[in-house]
Structure 1
Amino acid sequence: MYQNILVINTMHIGDLMLVTPALRTLRTNYPQAHIALLTDKPLGDLVRCNQNIDECILIDKHGRDKGLLALLRFIHKIRRRHFDLVINFHRNERASAIAAFSGGKRIVGYSQPGFKRFFDQVLPNCAMADTPQDKVKHQVLCHLDVLREAVGVKTIDDRGLEMWLPPEAEAETQRLWQKEIGPDAKVVAFNIGASWLTKRWLDSYFAACADRLIRRGYDIAFLGGPTDVSIVDKCVAQMEERESPRIHIFTGKVSLTVLAGLLRRCCLFLTTDSGPMHVGVAMNVPIVTMFGASPVPTFYPYDGRDVLIKTPEKCHPCGIHECPRKGKDNMACMKNIPVDVVMKYVDELLAAYHGEPAYKLPRPQGQYQCRVVEL
């Protein structure tokens, strides 16, 4: 029976959300254990209130823990904790090294080749691009396989992606909502940015969707981080309803947890494949998303209500950041997803859930394969 467990995932917003079913499964199987989650410092607020962990350990990859010597000092601190189980859920060099030299009595999970000899059991991450097609699985299911096969858990307790808001984030969200939007508005959230250009639907298409929704009486909340500000500005400039008081721009102005709080109050989320998409799943908001470069089977929104739209381009999924195709074929995977098609599914979900805010909707239970629409 494990009493002191360390879970490692030090990467992106979406990756962290996709670990949450594994955290719940660990808690169900080891209710008395001390469970610590190690993640990147800027992401700590996303998980520090997670009810299935006892502690959040933060690594400052771009600050005090940057560089080899700093990493060695950090690993030394982890070794002093004497974990009896260490689970690595990210296959990069830093996470692999921390796990390999953690001093854990049992070390399992994903690893870079150079560190495998220090693990007790290494499993393939079947959500990675190098996975044979017949073995590909969603990232959540890959994590649960690690717990089943390498840890020996008996019960898989998968209730979908989960997130609890810090009290101060909930209070700030409530203040912003009352000031900027109002209690009776029906709000559709837009996230138009993404870390790769090949994951972005056209900003002019988003603008057309926003115009249609505003004319039907919906408010639009633009979300995203500081790097998305210029993209949102360009999108709004193309809107016919650009002067409407129903437009609310929170892009680059709020924390990740306040962004989550805003999503919890929205009735639908129109988004690219991105970290905020997975936060939206955790916040229970129905989602329509457009996939370009990303592999659908491994990173689809983990909610059976959601709709994912893609085109049958031969190069999908390319997994590259900038499209190498020229002329009309450049970004064809996104250009060929029409506004009319996206709005068909936006309208369908709005009708199905009567425009109710996400916090009023029942959470899905047991059905997490989203609907995939291939044009």
Structure 2
Amino acid sequence: MTSKKPKRILIIKLRHHGDVLLTTPVADRIKHAYPDCTVDMLVYQETADILRDNRQINRIFTIDRQWKKQGLRRQLAHERALLADLKAQRYDWVFNLSDQWRAAAVAKLCGRHSGSLRYGKRDNALWRFCHSALSEDLGHEHHVVEHNLAVLRPLQLADGYRPRVRMEIAPETRSSLQDKLRKQGCRGEPYVLMHPGSRWVFKCWDNDKTAGLLQRLLDSGRHLVLTAAPDAGEQAMLADIAGRLKAPQGVHIWVLSGCLSLRELAAAIDGAELFIGVDSVPMHMAAALDKPQVALFGPSWVSRWRPYSERAEVVWAGDFGALPHPDSIDTNDQTRLLGAIPVDAVWQAVQKRLAE
């Protein structure tokens, strides 16, 4: 659309932590093509930590979803202040990777040019009016990273560069994580990290099978770090799994349940020999940190949501039994849907990645 090199670009992603992390290849692609371009992002406040310390992102603007609880007048004051701040940046391009109308309005008002995707539910004149360029929304056979990168088509960038999902960790975060490990008795021993939980229970493996896998690791002499989010359900799951394990003499289990910040969890993953998890944010963090990993998948679009990494081994429940269609899932259902995955299959994948 334009041959002029952009000087300032805003990327909008108003979704969950993993969705935001998987937009970082867009910034990476822009910075590779235009090293002097300033790239900012607009995200929900609770997801901003996933982007902290990323040197490719100049500034993180945030929307606090608690604004609406402060009354209409205060909410509008926050919205106007944010809009004024964004307009003052004088962006050459705003790339909108959200399907909300709020994001479309920012794209329309805050950039000389604006790009987005042809989301099915937004295929109308108003969506086209809000964006000066629209790219096709790729199907489920494409990874979500490719889907996000499609928004850059108006820049007509040369092929040949494969952007990365990126996450960086500050030294003080690494130090904080090491302090917590030391308090549990860790003295720098190598470890395998497993994060068995997810915000959606249907993505989780059975506790007995998880424990069976971890026991094999312990019996082979591997130290373990086990983590859980500060969520009562995840912590109860991890407590049950850990309670089934018996560490041989000289082999250790360090449980960090609900006590790590998102960035400390990233530091813990980065320090591991191997990450094991399910379809969740930590899985994408491991890919961003270029760690060997084994990821267990159930009824998700695997081609779209698998780890964006060549060092990941995916074990899919659909290879061992029938699964419901991904679009039919009730995310509030507490039924676990990875039960068909046998321990032996995951153990083989773990051995393969540990042999790297």
Question: Under a length normalisation based on structure 2, what TM-score does the superposition of the two structures give?
Answer: 0.85
Name 1:174's counterpart in structure 2. 178
Instruction: Say if 2:223 and 2:253, in contact at 8 Å, map to a contact too.
Output: yes
Cα contact 1:3–1:84 (8 A) shared by 2: yes
Q: What is the identity, as a one-letter code, of the residue corresponding to 2:131?
A: F
Residue matched to 2:128: 116
Q: Does the Cα contact within 8 Å between 1:177 and 1:262 map onto a contact in 2?
A: no
Tell me which amino acid in the other structure corresponds to 1:106: H
**How does 1:20-59 map onto structure 2 within 5 Å?**
20-59=24-63
**Count of residue pairs brought into register by the alignment:** 338
Aligned equivalent of 2:324, options 307, 315, 337:
315
The corresponding residue for 2:346 is: 342
- Cα distance, 1:315 vs. partner? 2.4
Q: Cα gap change, 1:225/1:97 in structure 2, threshold over 3 Å: closer, same or farther?
A: farther
How far is the alpha carbon of 1:152 from its aligned partner?
Answer: 2.2
Structure 2 letter corresponding to 1:146: V
CA distance in 1 between counterparts of 2:332 and 2:42 reads: 34
* Mapped contact 2:10–2:41 kept (Cα < 8 A): yes
2:282 is equivalent to residue 282 of structure 1: no
Deviations along 1:328-355, whole A, 9 cap, x unmatched? xx65x411101111111112211x22xx
- Structure 1 residue 301: deviation in Å? 0.6
Hey, what's the Cα distance between the residues in 2 that align with 1:298 and 1:76?
36
How much has 1:242 moved relative to structure 2?
11
Q: Structure 1 pair 210/45, CA: closer, same or farther in 2 (3 Å)?
A: same
Pick the aligned partner of 2:93 from 85, 89, 97.
85
1:254 offset after TM fit, Å? Answer: 1.1
Contact 2:294 2:312 in 1 (8 A): yes
What aligned pairs does 1:180-199 form with structure 2 within 5 A after superposition? Answer: 180=184, 182-199=186-203
Counterpart CA distance in 2 for 1:348 and 1:263 is 18
Q: Which of these residues, 146, 150, 164, is aligned with residue 151 of structure 2?
A: 146
CA distance in 2, matches of 1:115, 1:223: 42
- What is the CA deviation profile of residues 15-37 of structure 1, one whole-angstrom value per residue up to 9, with x for unaligned ones? 12211222111012122222112
| Aligned-partner Cα distance in 1 for 2:69–2:24 | 25
State the secondary structure of the residue aligned to 2:225.
Answer: strand
Change in CA separation of 1:93 and 1:245 when aligned onto 2, cut-off 3 Å: farther
Tell me by how many angstroms 1:224 deviates.
Answer: 3.0
Q: Distance in 2 between matches of 1:162 and 1:339?
A: 31
* CA separation of 1:194 and 1:30: change in aligned 2, threshold 3 A: same
Structure 2: unaligned runs, 5 residues or longer: none
CA RMSD, 1 decimal? 2.7
**SS in structure 2 at match of 1:50:** coil
Distance in 1 between residues matched to 2:175 and 2:68, nearest whole Å: 31
Q: Quote the Cα distance in structure 2 between the aligned partners of 1:95 and 1:103.
A: 10
CA contact (8 A) 2:14 2:44 kept: yes
CA contact (8 A) 1:162 1:283 kept: yes
